[in-house]
């Protein structure tokens, strides 16, 4: 089992450690609800060093990234980040990812930890077709990079103490290479998986201790807390963000998953599965991912069945929890056509009981 460069801090702080995506990772420190609320109201730091990173460089890099991802890379400029996905050639999704553009011949692809090996194999296969050389034009540096995500309304205010760069002025989904916490050439980006604002900080593994201590010290006056995977999941679910393996898989399309906004059918974007997905967009799909809130008391969970008022099956829950901010059950589910409208009542089968819920627009929590 792998460990991130920050593992000593997780153990020192008494985190509950679990196996996740081949890593020993902290699931919680002081409690999921407490950590969740702290991110929404103050700030928290997440160890996300288990994520995967691939460099793509050279004169053919743009064409490769444009072909392999569903979004339109042509609209990216230097210093911009784009959310996208990797279509699998069969209408499904290999992974969702972030694409960082450094220049037209240099990109960083950040992928999910659980999919690193699969994503890398897919990228190598398509890189060879595009004339890129694995190990030269496309590099898997996942084991060499440590990453912290600092999230919450005070995140950038705290992090500005550690750099002369105006991080508070950075636009959403941008990045910069800066000197940070005494470390040169740090990549700092303003994306996130919580909906609470903040940044991600990428460094070589050898600077992990310096970074952790600097971030915790800088955030102390604002109430920073270390946050585990448990709260990371509840935070993203409140926002309606997809989780690979739950909302998106090899058998779900971005159109079904409500990710049409990252699936761009522009003339110059001949990505994998373009024709199939365009047909889905134009003809419509029979199921779609929707958010819901419980009306009755109950905790929805993945794979719970969804029925209509006549007890006919109309869908399946992909993720569910009790929202720490709203104190009620929330979730997402794939629902049949006819049950997509906001306010539509559905029933979730929880422990052999049919409990009422209603379809809501995302984000579920609007803060």
pLDDT in tens, 164-203: 999 999 999 999 999 999 999 999 999 999 999 999 999 9
CA distance linking residue 335 with residue 314, whole number of Å:
6
pLDDT higher than 90, residue 103: yes
3-state secondary structure of 63: helix
CA distance linking residue 335 with residue 320, whole number of Å:
15
Contact 138, 124 (CB under 8 A): yes
Over residues 258-272, the mean pLDDT reads: 97
3-state secondary structure of 108: strand
- Residue 83 phi/psi, 5-degree rounding, is -80, 135
Work out whether the CA dihedral 227, 230, 234, 236 comes out positive or negative.
positive
Q: Which of 327, 325, 320, 282 is nearest to 301 (CA)?
A: 320
pLDDT in tens, 111-156: 999 999 999 999 999 999 999 999 999 999 999 999 999 999 999 9
Task: Tell me the domain boundaries of the chain.
Answer: 2-49+144-238, 286-367
Q: Which of 4, 2, 3 is nearest to 203 (CA)?
A: 4
Q: Longest Cα pair distance anywhere in the chain, in angstroms?
A: 63
Considering the chain, what percentage of its residues have pLDDT values greater than 70?
100
Q: Looking at the chain, how many residues does it have?
A: 367
What are residue 186's DSSP bridge partners? 178
CA distance linking residue 278 with residue 183, whole number of Å:
45
Class of domain 2-49+144-238: alpha beta
Going by pLDDT thresholds of 50, 70 and 90, the confidence category of residue 367 is: confident
pLDDT higher than 90, residue 360: yes
Q: Which residues of 125-146 are buried (b: 16+ CB within 10 A; e: fewer)?
A: ebbeebebeeeebbebebeebb
Going by pLDDT thresholds of 50, 70 and 90, the confidence category of residue 247 is: very high
Contact 298, 350 (CB under 8 A): yes
CA distance linking residue 278 with residue 263, whole number of Å:
9
Contact 35, 43 (CB under 8 A): no
Quickly count: other Cβ atoms within 10 Å of residue 299's Cβ.
Answer: 17
- Residue 12 phi/psi, 5-degree rounding, is -60, -35
CA distance linking residue 56 with residue 223, whole number of Å:
38
State the fold for domain 286-367.
Elongation Factor Tu (Ef-tu); domain 3 (2.40.30)
Going by pLDDT thresholds of 50, 70 and 90, the confidence category of residue 211 is: very high
pLDDT in tens, 19-37: 999 999 999 999 999 999 9
**What does the pLDDT read at residue 56?**
98
Q: Tokens for 321?
A: 């929890």
Average pLDDT, the chain: 98
Going by pLDDT thresholds of 50, 70 and 90, the confidence category of residue 314 is: very high
Q: Could you tell me how far CA 175 lies from the centroid of its own chain?
A: 16
Whole-number CA gyration radius for the chain? 21
- Residue 289 phi/psi, 5-degree rounding, is -75, 130
CA distance linking residue 245 with residue 256, whole number of Å:
15
Cβ within 8 Å of residue 206, ≥6 positions away: none
Over residues 268-293, the mean pLDDT reads: 97
What predicted TM-score, i.e. pTM, was given to this entire model?
0.97
pLDDT in tens, 40-88: 999 999 999 999 999 999 999 999 999 999 999 999 999 999 999 999 9
């Amino acid at each position: 089992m792998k460990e991130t460069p920050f593992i000593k801090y997780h153990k020192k702080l008494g985190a509950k450690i679990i196996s996740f995506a081949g890593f020993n990772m902290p699931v919680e420190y002081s409690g999921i609800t407490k950590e969740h609320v702290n991110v929404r109201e103050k700030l928290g730091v997440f160890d996300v060093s288990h994520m995967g990173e691939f460099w793509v460089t050279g004169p053919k890099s743009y064409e490769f990234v444009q072909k392999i991802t569903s979004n339109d890379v042509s609209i990216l400029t230097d210093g911009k980040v784009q959310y996208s996905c990797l279509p699998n050639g069969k209408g499904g999704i290999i992974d969702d990812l972030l694409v960082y553009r450094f220049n037209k011949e240099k990109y960083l692809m950040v992928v999910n930890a659980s999919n690193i090996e699969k994503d890398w194999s897919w990228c190598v296969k398509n890189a060879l077709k595009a004339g890129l050389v694995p190990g030269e034009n496309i590099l898997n540096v996942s084991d060499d990079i440590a990453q912290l995500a600092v999230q919450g309304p005070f995140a950038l205010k705290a992090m500005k103490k550690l750099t002369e760069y105006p991080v508070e002025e950075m636009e959403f989904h941008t990045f910069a290479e800066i000197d940070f916490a005494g470390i040169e050439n740090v990549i700092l980006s303003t994306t996130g998986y919580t909906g609470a604002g903040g940044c991600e900080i990428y460094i070589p593994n050898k600077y992990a201790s310096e970074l952790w201590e600097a971030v915790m010290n800088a955030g102390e006056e604002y109430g920073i807390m270390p946050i585990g995977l448990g709260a990371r999941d509840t935070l993203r679910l409140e926002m309606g963000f997809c989780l690979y393996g739950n909302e998106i898989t090899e058998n779900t399309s971005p159109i079904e998953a409500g990710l049409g906004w990252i699936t761009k059918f522009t003339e110059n974007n001949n990505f994998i599965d373009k024709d199939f997905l365009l047909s889905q967009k134009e003809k419509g799909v029979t199921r779609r991912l929707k958010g819901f809130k419980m009306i009755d008391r109950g905790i929805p969970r993945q794979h719970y069945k969804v029925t209509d008022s006549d007890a006919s099956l109309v869908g399946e829950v992909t993720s569910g929890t009790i929202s720490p901010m709203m104190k009620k059950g929330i979730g997402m589910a794939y629902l049949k056509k006819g049950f997509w409208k906001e306010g539509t009542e559905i029933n979730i089968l929880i422990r052999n009981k049919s409990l009422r819920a209603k379809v809501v627009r995302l984000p579920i929590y609007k803060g």
